[in-house]
Structure 1
Amino acid sequence: MASRFRERLAGRGARRVRIFAAFTCAAVVLAAGCADTDRGSAAVRVLTYRDFHLPADALEAFTAETGIEIVVFREDTPADVIELLERSRAHPVADVVVGIDTLDLQYVIDSGLTVPYAPLAPGPLVEDLAVEAHALTPISYLDACLNYLPSFYVTPERRIDELPDAEFGPPPVPRGLEALHDPAHAGTAVIPDAATSRMGIYLLVALERLYPERGGDEVTPWPQILDQMLRWGVELAPTWEIATFERFAGGEPPLLRPISQDDPDPVTLESLRGRLPMTWGTTGLPSVYAQYQPGLPEALDIAVVTDDCVRIGFYAGVVAGAQNQSLGGRLIDAMGEPLFQFGVSDRFGSRPARSDILSTPEWQEFGVRVHPYRPDPAYVGANWKVWQLTWSQVVRNFQTGPPPPEPEVTVTLPGN
């Protein structure tokens, strides 16, 4: 509990860093006894952002074992973290930065914001997470995918004397990102906006891979795909949290299956009370929902589309020019140990970077493993901000432009 309180206090202190470009004794009095940090103290300053999860019990165990206190500063977004590292390059405000993702990985390395560090006893890593020359250390990863509500796609059983009713039946189960620009599915989906959501940018990376903007005549570029998605009714949410926990209808135990078209109880958009049966989430989202249930549930009405997923890694590094680089390295060593790795999963459904860590009971029951696309950090890092600007322009044109033209229908009379 004390560690959680220190983290909250330091999180507020991070705003002081923005104003004064230095943190004061008041920001660390509980964590380090107001030691003289200018001479180097037994304290490690950790910089991360609001959504990155640091397991409190692992941090407490590190302090108990080493005597090294941890002061956590949180910025609002990954972009704020990068900006603060750049502005404080002459006098770094942190010893360790945690949560650098695949989008910013190459930029952080090329900009010299961190220094290479090789962990003393690294464990086996998930494939393709390692960084050349130990420029940054893998901490966790997530596989971003479509999630959907299985009960929405169940077709009621028919009696022998009943004929199929196409209007009554649901659309087919989504199989990949093509569902988002399929008229049968688009109006049932909510996705995070890439202009305002990091998870939305991960979706943008997946779309660029399937529908490259400069892919030639054989492929429809993703800006046109996005315009189609919006015109067919895909809903944009400003954050991943709103898309997942407010607009998406997943997580509850499965509803009873309808048994007949004569006595139907289908799951429809109306029956979901305005919530939607498809969203862009992660392979770990079912296990996240399971954590909110009282005890381990037997079933959840949420599933993962295993195609067209994208893997995003998260990394830690020793900040260039930091006061306590050696102590920061000891903390990064601890982040690769089983206690920290077991607790690294968060509400986004991230996973430990080590491949030998046992999963939580929720993940063992509901987690899904996929074969995702692994973006090249150099290519994605050099282009994602341009893609984001294009995304914003497409959305703005859709929202402010004229409505799409009505389709023309030609009726041919018999004999004409």
Structure 2
Amino acid sequence: MRPTHKTTAVLLFLALVLAACGGAATTAETPEKLTLIAHDSFAGGVSEETFAAFTAETGIEVEVIAAGDAGSMVNQAVLSKDNPLADVLFGVDDTFLSRALDAEIFRPYRPGILDRLPQDLIDREYRVTPIDFGDVCLNYDKEWFAQTQIQVPGDLDALRAQIYASNLTVEHPATSSPGLAFMLATIDVFGEDGWLDFWADLRDAGVNVAPDWDTAYFGEFTRYGGESSLVVSYASSPPAEVIFAEEPLTEAPTGVIEVGCYRQVEYAGILEGTPYPEAAGQLIDFMLSVEFQERIPLTWFVFPVNPDAELPPEFVEHTVIPAAPTRFAAAYIAENRDRWIEEWIQVMEG
């Protein structure tokens, strides 16, 4: 029997449906490319080698999109939730994590290695996975303190003295991630009843406030010709000084004050709406692998979360991992962050 036009149309429709379904299933399992959205500092460190092993193993290329700082990145991900810009997001830290979780932009995923990671870093609903951590701490110029024979301050309370406060540069908490982290550390140390008094004392004693870390470290720090021998930076800054020194150094020219530090943890998550959740999970697994984790310290100057990853000699010799850094729950930060910043501005700027 010769098929009618109606029969032909039905068969064509069924063929298209079957082709679409089959194509979608194949694409979801083996995409040619995954897109990773990240903050600028991570994206700037990515090279052809960063994800080469992942591509060799899976056949999947990784495209990295730079999305500004962590706050801007989260805002973009939230606004594009219904049509995600990427498959995986990396670089959201504690200070902005709650905003991302509240917006429900992540698809839960539990990596097989999760039980081996530091358990205090784990999201118990598996919405995000810790990848690295870094400690925001006071750094000091060793040469300046040796020449002046002034003792390095032993705690935050000592900073109230004019000799220290007038030689200290901090970053603005509304415009700088380390500035916000240091402010959180002072809230932890002095409590809700005392932290603003501490900042008022610093203000009266001549503390300097910079808009961002680059200005504070490379513009105000005596190490680079500035007038502040103390600066809010990272526990990993001393090894960076050694690695990037123009002349070989056997000792870091800067040191870390281990009290009053704040630990920032960076997370990765699979974005809800990705057509490639399985492949996205493979990418997160790769970012937890020893190979990728051992790339982290000398590329982004933070610490890997995988305990099997070995630190480079420069990190072992020239940096410290504070024993008891401050960490606040993401929800607690989200609940109070805007109020804390506004109170800080009122004290410091009037």
Q: Which range, TM-score by smaller chain?
A: 0.7 to 0.9
Deviation per residue, 1:17-63 (Å, 9 max, x gap): xxxxxxxxxxxxxxxxxxx9xx7632111111112355532312211
TM-score by length of 2: 0.85
Counting only pairs closer than 5 Å after superposition, residues 1-400 of structure 1 correspond to structure 2 as 41-52=31-42, 55-56=46-47, 57-122=49-114, 124-126=116-118, 128-154=120-146, 170-213=149-192, 215=193, 221-250=194-223, 273-293=225-245, 297-345=249-297, 349-371=301-323, 372-397=325-350
| Native 8 Å contact 2:99 2:334 kept in 1 | yes
CA distance in 2, matches of 1:312, 1:153: 28
Name the residue aligned to 2:20.
Answer: none
CA distance in 2, matches of 1:246, 1:127: 38
**What is the DSSP-based 3-state SS (H/G/I as helix, E as strand, rest coil) of the residue aligned with 1:380?**
helix
| Native 8 Å contact 2:116 2:306 kept in 1 | yes
| Residue identity matched to 1:77 | D
CA distance in 1, matches of 2:299, 2:90: 17
Name the residue aligned to 2:18.
Answer: none
| Native 8 Å contact 2:144 2:222 kept in 1 | no
Q: Percent identity?
A: 27
Report the aligned-residue RMSD: 2.2
Tell which deviates more after alignment, 330-339 or 109-118. Answer: 109-118
Cα distance, 1:346 vs structure 2: 5.8
Cα distance, 1:394 vs structure 2: 2.5
Tell which deviates more after alignment, 52-61 or 138-147. Answer: 52-61
CA distance in 2, matches of 1:94, 1:304: 37
CA distance in 2, matches of 1:227, 1:347: 38
Name the residue aligned to 2:13.
Answer: none
TM-score by length of 1: 0.72
Give the strand-richer structure, 1 or 2.
Answer: 2
Name the residue aligned to 1:19.
Answer: none
Q: Which runs of 5+ in 1 are unaligned?
A: 1-35, 156-168, 216-220, 251-271, 398-416
Instruction: Say how many residue pairs are matched.
Output: 320
Cα distance, 1:122 vs structure 2: 4.2
Cα distance, 1:323 vs structure 2: 2.1
Cα separation, partners in 2 of 1:294 and 1:391, compared to 1, 3 Å:
same
| Residue identity matched to 2:136 | A
| Native 8 Å contact 1:124 1:356 kept in 2 | no
Q: Which runs of 5+ in 2 are unaligned?
A: 1-23
Tell which deviates more after alignment, 380-389 or 310-319. Answer: 380-389
Cα distance, 1:199 vs structure 2: 0.8
